[in-house]
C-alpha cells in the first residue's frame, strides 16, 4: 500500500508541475483539481499505512523536463498510461479497500480530462517534422557515405555536407511552405516551413559532429550512422506515444531506408573512385 501512497504523492506533484506549464487557464484549473484529488488519495492510503512517504523527486523532475522539452501532449500521454496501470491495480483491491472504488473512478476521470486537453501546436506540425527529419537522415547519410569513401578527408566531408544540408533545408522549407499554403487546413505555412527546416538542420548538425571530433573517416561514418539510428528511435518513440502509433513499424522503415541508402551511396563512392582513378 505504501507504493500506492507514494504514487499518489508523486502524481499530485506532477500534475502541479504540468499546471505551471500549460497556457490554457481552464486546463490549468483542471490539472490543479487533479493534483488535489491525488493528495486526497494519498491521505486515504495514509490511513491504512499510518506513515508519511515522500514523492519521487526523480519522477517529478523527469516529467517537468519532458513537459518543457517534449511538450504537454507527450507528457500527458505518458501519464495516461500510468493512470491505466493504476486502474488495474486499484481494481484488484476493491474487496479489501472500500476507498479504492472512488479512487478508480477518479483515475478514469483523470484519463478523460487529459485526453480532452490534447491540442498542442507542435503535434499539429508533426508531419512537417517527420518530413524534415526523415528526408535529412536518408539524404545526408547517403551523402556522408558516398563522400567518406570519395574524399577521405573529415573536414572536407563536414564542409561539403554542411553546405549541401543547409541548402537542402532551405529548399525543403520552401516546398513545405508552398504545399501547406495550397492545402486546406489549420496549419500555418510559415510555421510548417520552420518546423521542417528546423528538423532538417538538427539532422545536419547531428551527422557532421563526428567528422569534427574524430580523425578517422570510417569511425566518423560509423558514429554518424549510429547517431542517425538513435535519432530515428527517439523520434519514432515520441510519435508512438504522442499519436498512439506503433513504434516498430516506423522505426524499422526509417532505419531500413537510411541504412540502405547509406550502403548504396558508399558503393557508388567506391565505384566512382575505381572508374576515375581518384586519389585524395
pLDDT in tens, 92-126: 565 566 665 666 566 666 556 665 555 555 566 76
Q: Is the dihedral of CA 229, 230, 231, 237 positive or negative?
A: positive
Can you give the pLDDT at residue 147? Answer: 82
> Residue 271: pLDDT band by 50, 70, 90 thresholds?
confident
Question: What pLDDT, on a 0 to 100 scale, did the predictor assign at position 208?
Answer: 92
Backbone angles phi, psi at 45, to 5 degrees: -65, -30
Query: Which ranges of the chain would DSSP assign to H, the alpha helix?
Result: 2-21, 25-49, 57-69, 72-91, 100-117, 121-124, 126-151, 154-182, 189-213, 217-242, 247-276
The CB-side HSE value for 94 (13 A sphere, CA atoms) comes to 9
Say which residues have a Cβ less than 8 Å from residue 24's Cβ, sequence separation at least 6. 117
Contacts 24+ apart (CB under 8 A), 94-101: 97/1, 97/48, 99/44
What is the grid cell recorded at 122? 507542435
Q: What was the pLDDT predicted at 47?
A: 78
C-alpha cell, 89: 491495480
Check if the beta carbon of residue 166 is closer than 8 Å to that of residue 200.
Answer: no
**Digit-coded pLDDT (tens) for 176-231:** 888 888 876 677 888 888 888 888 899 899 999 999 999 888 899 899 989 989 98
Q: What was the pLDDT predicted at 94?
A: 54
d(CA 266, CA 269): 5
pLDDT per residue over 125-170, tens digit each? 766 777 788 788 888 888 888 788 777 888 888 898 899 889 988 9
This prediction's pTM: 0.63
pLDDT of residue 209: 92
* Band (262; pLDDT cuts 50, 70, 90): confident
Chain centre to alpha carbon of residue 223: 21
With vertex at residue 64, the alpha carbon angle to CA 61 and CA 67, rounded to the nearest 5 degrees, is: 150
- pLDDT tens digits, 14-25: 888 888 877 777
- Is residue 27 predicted with pLDDT exceeding 60? yes
Amino acid at each position: 500500500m505504501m507504493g500506492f501512497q507514494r504514487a499518489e504523492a508523486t502524481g499530485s506533484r506532477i500534475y502541479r508541475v504540468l499546471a505551471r506549464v500549460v497556457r490554457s487557464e481552464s486546463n490549468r484549473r483542471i490539472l490543479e483539481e487533479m493534483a488535489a484529488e491525488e493528495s486526497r488519495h494519498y491521505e486515504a492510503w495514509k490511513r491504512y499505512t499510518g506513515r508519511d512517504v515522500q514523492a519521487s523527486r526523480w519522477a517529478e523532475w523527469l516529467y517537468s523536463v519532458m513537459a518543457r522539452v517534449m511538450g504537454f501532449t507527450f507528457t500527458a500521454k505518458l501519464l495516461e498510461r500510468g493512470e491505466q496501470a493504476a486502474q488495474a491495480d486499484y481494481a484488484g483491491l476493491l474487496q479489501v479497500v472500500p476507498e479504492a472504488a472512488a479512487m478508480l473512478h477518479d483515475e478514469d476521470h483523470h484519463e478523460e480530462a487529459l485526453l480532452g486537453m490534447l491540442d498542442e501546436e507542435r503535434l499539429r506540425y508533426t508531419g512537417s517534422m517527420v518530413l524534415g527529419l526523415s528526408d535529412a537522415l536518408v539524404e545526408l547519410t547517403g551523402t556522408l557515405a558516398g563522400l567518406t569513401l570519395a574524399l577521405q578527408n573529415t573536414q572536407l566531408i563536414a564542409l561539403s555536407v554542411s553546405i549541401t544540408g543547409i541548402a537542402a533545408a532551405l529548399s525543403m522549407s520552401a516546398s513545405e511552405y508552398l504545399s501547406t499554403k495550397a492545402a486546406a487546413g489549420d496549419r500555418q505555412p510559415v510555421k510548417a516551413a520552420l518546423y521542417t527546416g528546423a528538423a532538417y538542420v538538427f539532422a545536419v548538425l547531428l551527422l557532421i559532429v563526428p567528422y569534427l571530433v574524430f580523425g578517422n573517416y570510417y569511425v566518423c561514418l560509423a558514429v554518424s550512422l549510429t547517431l542517425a539510428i538513435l535519432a530515428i528511435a527517439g523520434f519514432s518513440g515520441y510519435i508512438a506515444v504522442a499519436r498512439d502509433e506503433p513504434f516498430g513499424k516506423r522505426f524499422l522503415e526509417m532505419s531500413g531506408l537510411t541504412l540502405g541508402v547509406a550502403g548504396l551511396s558508399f558503393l557508388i563512392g567506391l565505384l566512382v573512385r575505381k572508374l576515375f582513378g581518384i586519389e585524395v
